[in-house]
Amino acid sequence: MGDIIIILAVAAGLVFAVLGTVKRSRNGCCGGSVPKAAPKKPDGEIIGKKEILIEGMHCENCRNRVESQINRIDGAVAKVSLKRKTAVVSMTRPVTDEELIRAVERADFKVVRITECGKGGKKR
């Protein structure tokens, strides 16, 4: 009976490992290669900042994908931190939370919350 329990536990562990690997490979994560784009510079005066807490980023490839998608938004410049699981977005025009959420979702990640920051990046 003990052997069966051990075999079932090992089998369950293998199933979860395989599912995780398939998910990451489908997203191009943890080994895929999305080249790091040249840093985007703000195209005007920074009028505000938002911090986005993002679920699911694991590696530099994840960071590059999120940063690239947010930087596609006119008037938004992102700086993504893997350690903090956040993106700080500097804005030269009003950017809606919906625009930011769509950009993060295009990169196959989930927004947990968005917090308004002052010009210096401090949370309000």
- The model's pLDDT over 37-72, given as tens digits with 9 standing for 90+, comes to 678 888 889 999 999 999 999 999 999 999 999 999
Domain-embedded: residue 19: no
Is there a domain that residue 73 lies in?
Answer: yes
pLDDT in tens, 18-27: 776 666 555 5
Domain annotation covers residue 21: no
Report the distance separating Cα 48 and Cα 63, nearest Å.
Answer: 22
66 falls within a domain:
yes
What range does the domain containing 55 cover? 48-117
Whole-model pTM over 0.75: no
Number of domains in the chain: 1
Q: Is residue 36 part of a domain?
A: no
* pLDDT for residue 124 is more than 60: no
- Whether residue 60 is contained in a domain is answered as yes
Asked whether the beta carbons of 34 and 61 are under 8 A apart, the reply is yes
Q: What is the CATH number of the domain that holds 72?
A: 3.30.70.100
Compute the mean pLDDT over every residue in the chain, rounded to the nearest whole number.
85
**Torsion of Cα atoms, 107 then 78 then 101 then 113, to 10°:** 120
Examine residue 23 and state whether it is found in any structural domain, yes or no.
Answer: no
> What pLDDT shows up at residue 119?
54
**DSSP per position, 62-87:** HHHHHHHHHHTSTTEEEEEETTTTEE
Say what the pLDDT of residue 81 is: 96
